[in-house]
Amino acid sequence: MAAVMAAGNARIRQLIPLGLPVYCGGPHGDEVAFTFDDGPGVYTHYAVKKLAQWHERATFFVVGKVINLWPGWLPRELKVAAIGDHTYSHVDLMALSRSEVEFQLASVARMIHSQIGERVDLWRPPYLAYDSTVVNIARKLGLLEILGDVDSRDWAGARWYQIIKIVEAGLRPGAIVMMHENRGQTIRALTTLLPYLHRHHLRSVSIPELMAADPPSLAQLRRGLYGCGHGGSPLPGGA
């Protein structure tokens, strides 16, 4: 696992200078990537437990202001996941000054590093809202922007059975699924989604593992969401 993570992190660092967000991986393997935003929180324990039960892995994009409210949870998440930056206070970065954006990202990267002892290479913008200024700041901080091509809509109040339907419809090799670990209906949906992966010969991996196994091509990256085989416009988000 350590070698795979190292290879994935090396690939991530190759992608950062491009300044292009990642919506999905390549379509050639059996990997998908479940991702969870806004934690840690009251449901983190259940997400970690279910992932471990099914021997699946994921990526948690954490919010700085709640990290200290749930001490000790980042090392536990690390046992089944990679950890990324979701800003300090979950704000719309486009409404902030350059120095405020830098604080929102850099402070959380330092907090994560202090707890798990690993460099942070991944980030996801709250509400999936970003512009060229935000992207340039993140790139200078050494962060790769991870979006997704499957939006569970749990942030919009989707019920557990609706989440299952949405996610199952979007699952394909390379898919990056956006969910939230602080929603009870999402945790309930995992009870069905994780065995679904096994039945359909798919497995959830962390973003570094996906980048090691089957990264997106440059052509995919340049096409954005369209590079994932979708015909629609980029997803609106409540990440």
Q: What is the structure's pLDDT at 53?
A: 98
Helix (H, G, I), strand (E, B) or coil at 146: strand
Q: Are 163 and 170 in contact (CB under 8 A)?
A: no
Which parts of the chain sit beneath pLDDT 50?
231-237
* Six token digits for residue 203: 């497995």
Spatial distance between the Cα atoms of 235 and 225, rounded to a whole number of angstroms: 8
How are beta strands 176-180 and 203-204 bridged, if at all?
unpaired
Q: Are 84 and 60 in contact (CB under 8 A)?
A: yes
Helix (H, G, I), strand (E, B) or coil at 142: coil
Q: Are 12 and 82 in contact (CB under 8 A)?
A: no
DSSP 8-state code for residue 233: P
Backbone angles phi, psi at 179, to 5 degrees: -135, 180
Boundaries of every domain in the chain: 2-225
- Which residues are within 8 A (CB) of 184 and not within 5 positions of it... i.e. 6 or more apart? 43
Helix (H, G, I), strand (E, B) or coil at 188: helix
* Six token digits for residue 105: 């990202």
Stated pTM of the model: 0.95
DSSP 8-state code for residue 235: P
Q: Are 28 and 176 in contact (CB under 8 A)?
A: no
Spatial distance between the Cα atoms of 74 and 71, rounded to a whole number of angstroms: 8
Q: What is the structure's pLDDT at 2?
A: 82
Spatial distance between the Cα atoms of 60 and 55, rounded to a whole number of angstroms: 16
For the purposes of burial, counting CB atoms within 10 Å of the CB of 32, is it exposed (0-12), middle (13-18) or buried (19 or more)? buried
Superfamily holding 2-225: Glycoside hydrolase/deacetylase (3.20.20.370)
Using CA of residue 157, residue 158, residue 159, residue 164, what is the dihedral sign? Answer: negative
